[in-house]
Amino acid sequence: MNKFFSSTRRIIASLSAAALLAVIPLAGCDQSDKDKDKNDNSSASAAGGQSESENDKYKGAAVVKSENYEINYHVMQYLMNYMVSDFCNSYGTSYFDTTKDLKEQYYNEDEKITWYDYFYDTTKNYITQIMVFAEEGKKNGLELSESELEQLDSTFEQMESIAAESSMTLDEFIAGEYGGNVTKSEVEEIQKMTVLARDYSNYLYKSFKYTDEDYEKQYKENKESYEVADFLMYSFAYSEEETSTVPTKDVAKESADALASAKNEKEFNEYLEKYLRDNPLYVSVPTSSESSVTEEDFNAGVDAAIESAKNEKIAYDVSTESYKWVFDENRKANDVTIIDENSAYNVILVTKPLYRDESETRNIRHILVKIGTDDNADAKAKESADKIYREWKDGKKTEETFAELANKYSEDPGSNTNGGLYENVEVGYMVEAFNDWMFDPNRKVGDNAIVKTEIGYHIMYYPGPGLTAWKVPVDSDLRENDVSEEYEKLKKEHKIEFDDEVLQTIEIELPETSTATQ
């Protein structure tokens, strides 16, 4: 069961590399949230556990303290219940009995760790990481940027808008979402602390410098973690009784044997195409017409099936019998086998056994202006992109000013908090026009342009090449290790005090059911 304990290294890595931590899960607000009766806000919230009357003696009580920050009882109550909700959404509720107290159920019976202990410790670790990094950020004079403050203001504006739709005030909405004793100022304070922690951990993550010797040493010591392989794999599913889309085991084995006679990639694909054309019922066809399947539809289905059999740059993995065979260190090019696994015969042909990926990656900054759905949407998006592009060109025309405009204008949520930057992008990762521009062999540092894709207009800036592909995961692991070591030092410097006696009175409200897949 230890798979649920996130290591310090992994949690810190996510804090270092992630965008804003979701202390306020505003995206989860649905119509049922909006329709809550505003007169019910004094009762327990969906995530809050106990009612206000039961815990009024703890109102405003600071139960977590550091030099510059405090968190009160009811915010911790919300956070702990949020951790439980997040776990249940990810893993389901089959690991414990939702009708019983978690203090009476063991996560690890041998060590007498209850499920309550698990969620309590998870919440404490989460808060400790945020407060330690926020304290170190403050110590180093780090402050929230103007765009970050604007983003936080926007969050409360969204809350206010949602509240207004249900004739509620902002305070009433916050009480309904986070518990009756949680105030706007408390939510705002923990948000600011979280953003500051994220900013400092990002700074720390990027601050380490590595030489080629560092990369080589890490690679050689952990070779299996970084090598990849290319192979073809097609699965012949079978069932006890033949259906219109699944043959019997004997028929599937006959087809698998025929495909496994292929001696190379060309023969593999040729036989697979013949098999699919001879057995059209086994082809998944993306129809272009409601009335019938066209020849073009069928050809597209065949091509898609052949393409999906191709597996390139797959990281070392021995979680299945098929992968154990592929990633055997003795595997050679054009080795072929059949693996009977999960009611299917997997025919596998290795095209390139374990190797180090020496392909190039590139970095890119962009500002996305999406094309809307209203009249003249394309023209409006183009006009906006041109205006932003001119604003940059009329200024200093530096990478720094481009990043500032990306944070201000870009509609790409994946990069509009870090200057529109994507690092170490591999060929084919981005949509075609975007990819073609950034991987143009004549591309030079500082090149810029507007590129149109089906998503919208992208104002592009090329800052330079990324790491060689094999170095990307190596670099990530080196940084995670170094951040973890630094974090352990900072924890000793910035003492975080928890009032465990009071915090242990927090009650957890468990969901009745869960749709998570085990």
Tell me the percentage of the chain whose pLDDT exceeds 90: 71
CA distance 186 to 165: 23
Portions of the chain given CATH number 1.10.4030: 2-22+31-208+496-503
- What is the DSSP track for 196-223? HHHHHHHHHHHH----HHHHHHHHHHTH
Q: What is the CATH number of domain 228-355?
A: 3.10.50
CA distance 116 to 500: 13
Is residue 258 scored above 60 in pLDDT? yes
Is residue 45 scored above 70 in pLDDT? no
Is residue 287 scored above 70 in pLDDT? no
Alpha-carbon separation of residue 48 from 28, 121, 501 (angstroms): 15, 18, 19
φ and ψ at residue 432, rounded to 5 degrees: -55, -55
Alpha-carbon separation of residue 452 from 366, 402, 421, 457, 461 (angstroms): 12, 18, 18, 5, 14
Question: CB under 8 Å to 90, separation ≥6 — which residues?
Answer: 516
The pLDDT-based confidence of 180 (bands split at 50, 70, 90) is: confident
Is residue 23 scored above 80 in pLDDT? no
197 touches 133 (CB < 8 A): yes
Question: CB under 8 Å to 385, separation ≥6 — which residues?
Answer: 367, 369, 450, 456, 457, 458, 459
Question: CB under 8 Å to 275, separation ≥6 — which residues?
Answer: 255, 258, 259
In the structure encoding, which two tokens stand for residue 201, read together? 């951990």
pLDDT of 310:
98
**Average confidence (pLDDT) over 458-474:** 97
Question: CB under 8 Å to 144, separation ≥6 — which residues?
Answer: 152, 192, 195, 196, 199
**Average confidence (pLDDT) over 435-441:** 97
In the structure encoding, which two tokens stand for residue 244, read together? 């219109």
**CATH entry 1.10.4030 includes domain 2-22+31-208+496-503:** yes
The pLDDT-based confidence of 453 (bands split at 50, 70, 90) is: very high
Is residue 396 scored above 90 in pLDDT? yes
Q: Which residue has the tokens 């089906």?
A: 454
Other Cβ atoms within 10 Å of 148 Cβ, number: 19
Portions of the chain given CATH number 3.10.50.40: 360-465
Beta bridge partners of 448: 461
Tell me the pairing of strands 456-465 and 361-370.
Answer: antiparallel
Is residue 512 scored above 90 in pLDDT? no
CA distance 508 to 500: 16
Amino acid identity at 112? K
pLDDT of 293:
79
pLDDT of 348:
98
Choice among 104-118, 284-298, 451-465 with the minimum mean pLDDT: 284-298
Mean pLDDT of the chain: 87
pLDDT of 164:
93
402 touches 416 (CB < 8 A): no
- DSSP class of residue 355 equals E
- DSSP class of residue 281 equals G
pLDDT of 182:
87
CA distance 262 to 141: 64
pLDDT of 55:
57
Tell me the pairing of strands 336-340 and 344-355.
Answer: antiparallel
Tell me the percentage of the chain whose pLDDT exceeds 70: 87
pLDDT of 47:
41
CA distance 116 to 210: 42
User: Per-residue pLDDT tens for 488-510?
Assistant: 999 999 999 999 999 999 988 88
With the C-alpha atoms ordered 84, 417, 14, 316, is the resulting torsion angle positive or negative? positive
Is residue 19 scored above 80 in pLDDT? no
Pick the CATH number of 360-465 from 3.40.630.30, 3.20.20.150, 2.60.40.420, 3.10.50.40: 3.10.50.40
